[in-house]
């Protein structure tokens, strides 16, 4: 389905063209990182819609759906930014049920969500499959951390300085802008601009 052309959609179409020129076949993981409240989820949704407009199989996921429960996080110490950065998300589950099986292609099933952070509870996994050629657009904080550095084929980072203490820790460990495929100024979501 053709999207309504707006400056945002036009920008995203250009970004999608760049991605498709580099990765026309196979399973491709595109991450959308950036500071807290930078608009990562909406950007990921819109980029996925533009890729789907090109008749590509596209799947969406968010790190928000791979949180650890508050009870499990509490096992790692007091509720401070350092704990949230290091232990707020279940990287093992992310790899085990989403990234690794998605990368295998074919009929291997994968899961795009395992946790509801608002209700603070696990959700029943929904196993899905897709064609050998497909995109996974994954948004979230801290995706450039060293332990996840290998999951992305394309790294999009929304520009901006760290917005809270957890961001500051993450950016000190591995500034996502340093390894980005594209850095996007999304301060005005209607008029995103490539800045790196």
Contacts of 44 (CB under 8 A, 6+ apart): 32, 60, 62, 137, 138, 139
Closest CA to 73 of 164, 166, 168, 143: 166
Instruction: Give the per-residue pLDDT at 105.
Output: 83
- β-pair type (115-116, 121-122): antiparallel
Alpha carbon of 12 to those of 35, 46, 133, 185: distances in Å? 20, 8, 20, 12
Q: Is residue 2 part of a domain?
A: no
Instruction: Give the per-residue pLDDT at 148.
Output: 95
Q: Is residue 4 part of a domain?
A: no
pTM: 0.95
Q: Is residue 164 part of a domain?
A: yes
Number of domains in the chain: 1
Q: Is residue 18 part of a domain?
A: no
CATH number for the domain harbouring residue 105? 3.40.50.300
Instruction: Give the per-residue pLDDT at 158.
Output: 97
Q: Using CA atoms, how far apart are residues 13 and 47, in angstroms rounded to an integer?
A: 8
Q: Is residue 17 part of a domain?
A: no
Q: Using CA atoms, how far apart are residues 194 and 186, in angstroms rounded to an integer?
A: 9
Instruction: Give the per-residue pLDDT at 24.
Output: 83
Containing domain of residue 183, as a range?
A: 24-194
- Segments in the chain below pLDDT 50: none
Q: Using CA atoms, how far apart are residues 189 and 20, in angstroms rounded to an integer?
A: 23
Q: Is residue 123 part of a domain?
A: yes
- β-pair type (154-158, 27-33): parallel
Instruction: Give the per-residue pLDDT at 69.
Output: 96
Instruction: Give the per-residue pLDDT at 107.
Output: 77
Q: Is residue 79 part of a domain?
A: yes
Going 9 to 12 to 14 to 20, the CA torsion angle's sign is negative
Q: Is residue 104 part of a domain?
A: yes
């Amino acid at each position: 389905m053709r999207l309504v052309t707006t400056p945002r959609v036009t920008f995203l179409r250009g970004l999608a063209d760049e991605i498709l020129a580099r990765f026309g076949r196979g399973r491709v993981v595109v991450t959308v990182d950036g500071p807290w409240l930078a608009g990562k989820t909406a950007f990921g949704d819109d980029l996925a819609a533009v890729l789907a407009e090109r008749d590509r199989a596209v799947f969406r996921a968010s790190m928000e759906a791979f949180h650890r429960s508050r009870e499990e996080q509490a096992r790692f110490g007091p509720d401070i930014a350092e704990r949230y950065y290091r232990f707020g998300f279940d990287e093992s589950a992310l790899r085990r049920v989403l990234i690794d099986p998605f990368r295998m292609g074919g009929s291997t099933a994968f899961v795009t969500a395992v946790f509801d952070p608002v209700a603070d509870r696990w959700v029943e996994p929904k196993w899905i499959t897709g064609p050998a050629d497909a995109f996974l657009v994954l948004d979230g904080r801290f995706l450039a951390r060293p332990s996840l550095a290998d999951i992305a084929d394309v790294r999009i980072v929304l520009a901006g300085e760290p917005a809270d203490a957890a961001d500051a820790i993450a950016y000190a460990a591995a500034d996502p802008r340093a390894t980005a495929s594209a850095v996007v100024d999304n301060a005005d979501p209607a008029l995103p601009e490539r800045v790196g």
